[in-house]
């Protein structure tokens, strides 16, 4: 289990509150999820600037330093509680490929038994880039494999292609790892290339916000087709400054395109193309 955070904004903005000073910031969550951290921030370059740590974020001065400096239109952050793969820097999220950043909150069921079957679905040249031992990194490269059937992995992409590729990744992995009588594999994924951002919910909590304020920290669901000023995605509600959040539904895919227009789909809307 881990915790993830995604931020996409029309204008660069600081994310220090969500990462450090909020009542339920990632720093607070890292007291339980203490096996590494990572932050990817997108600036003028196509590829993100990334910092990783292998210890608890709450006691790592580098996490606090990086968090205080980040002001960007797109940020992805993660704190890890190791379930598959050792506590090593190469296993810290976000995982990267070209302009893409990827984080995962969850665990694939019985991954040791199913690892080779999952790896067999990854295109060989992409599989050669896998460095760590996590289930998450393999899911990322399976996403890249599916995405590459639709688009170049560099340059502009369609939001619908990213969402379909992430949904297919979930379905393919579920077909391998889900077993009768056991909990489903947990696959809260979040991926971005700095412009589009897409997240999925499966067997873990996930919340979204457009940054509006509310005395109760809750708001009506954000509607499909709405153009936002910003989008925040988090494993848990971050409501210290009374930001309003609503819950993403189980088996939902949610994301914004380059103009920050919100899209929401049910997983069942995506037909797996093999």
Cα 41 to Cα 100, 101, 159, 177, 197, distances in angstroms: 11, 9, 20, 32, 13
Q: What is the pLDDT of residue 115?
A: 96
Contact 248, 239 (CB under 8 A): no
CATH T-level topology, domain 2-269: 3.60.20
**Are the C-beta atoms of 27 and 256 separated by less than 8 Å?**
no
Taking the C-alpha atoms of residue 4 and residue 188, their distance in angstroms, rounded to an integer, is 9
The pTM score is: 0.94
Structure letter (DSSP) for residue 55:
S
Q: What is the DSSP letter of 17?
A: I
Tell me what pLDDT residue 240 has. Answer: 60
Which residues lie closer than 8 Å to 2 by C-beta, 6 or more apart? 33, 78, 79, 80, 81, 93, 103, 104, 105, 106, 235
Give the angle subtended at the CA of 230 by the CAs of 228 and 234, to the nearest 5°.
Answer: 120
Contact call for residues 162 and 128 (beta carbons, < 8 A): no
Closest CA to 1 of 38, 29, 41: 29
Counting as low any pLDDT under 50, the low residues of the chain are: 274
Domain ranges of the chain: 2-269
* Helices of type H across the chain: 16, 26-29, 61-69, 111-119, 124-127, 135-148, 159-177
Quote the pLDDT of residue 274: 47
**Would you say 126 and 145 are in contact if contact means Cβ atoms under 8 Å apart?**
yes
pLDDT at position 212 is: 84
Ramachandran region of residue 128, left (φ > 0), alpha (ψ -120 to 50) or beta?
Answer: alpha
| Rg of the chain (C-alpha set) | 17
Q: Residue 154 and residue 255: Cα distance in Å, rounded? A: 19
Place of tokens 């560099």: 154
Q: What is the pLDDT of residue 273?
A: 55
């Amino acid at each position: 289990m881990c915790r993830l955070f995604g931020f996409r904004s029309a204008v660069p903005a600081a994310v220090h509150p969500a990462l450090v000073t909020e009542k339920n910031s990632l720093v607070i969550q890292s007291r339980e999820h203490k096996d590494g951290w990572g932050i990817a921030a997108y600036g003028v370059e196509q590829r993100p600037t990334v910092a990783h740590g292998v210890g608890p974020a709450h006691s790592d001065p580098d996490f606090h330093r990086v968090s205080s400096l980040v002001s960007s239109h797109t940020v992805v952050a993660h704190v890890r509680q190791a379930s598959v793969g050792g506590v090593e820097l190469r296993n810290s999220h976000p995982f990267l490929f070209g302009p893409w950043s990827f984080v995962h909150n969850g665990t694939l069921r019985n991954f040791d038994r199913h690892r080779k079957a999952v790896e067999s679905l990854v295109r060989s040249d992409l599989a050669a880039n896998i460095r760590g031992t996590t289930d998450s990194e393999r899911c990322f490269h399976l996403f890249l494999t599916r995405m590459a059937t639709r688009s170049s992995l560099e340059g502009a992409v369609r939001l619908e292609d990213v969402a379909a590729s992430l949904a297919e990744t979930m379905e393919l992995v579920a077909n391998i790892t889900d077993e009768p009588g056991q909990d489903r594999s947990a696959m809260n994924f979040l991926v971005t290339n700095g412009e589009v951002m897409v997240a999925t919910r499966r067997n873990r909590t996930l919340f979204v916000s457009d940054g509006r304020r509310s005395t109760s920290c809750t708001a009506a669901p954000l509607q499909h087709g709405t153009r936002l000023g910003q989008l925040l995605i988090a494993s848990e509600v971050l409501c210290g400054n009374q930001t309003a959040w609503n819950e993403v539904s189980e088996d939902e895919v949610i994301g914004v395109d380059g103009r920050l227009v919100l899209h929401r789909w049910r997983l069942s809307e995506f037909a797996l193309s093999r």
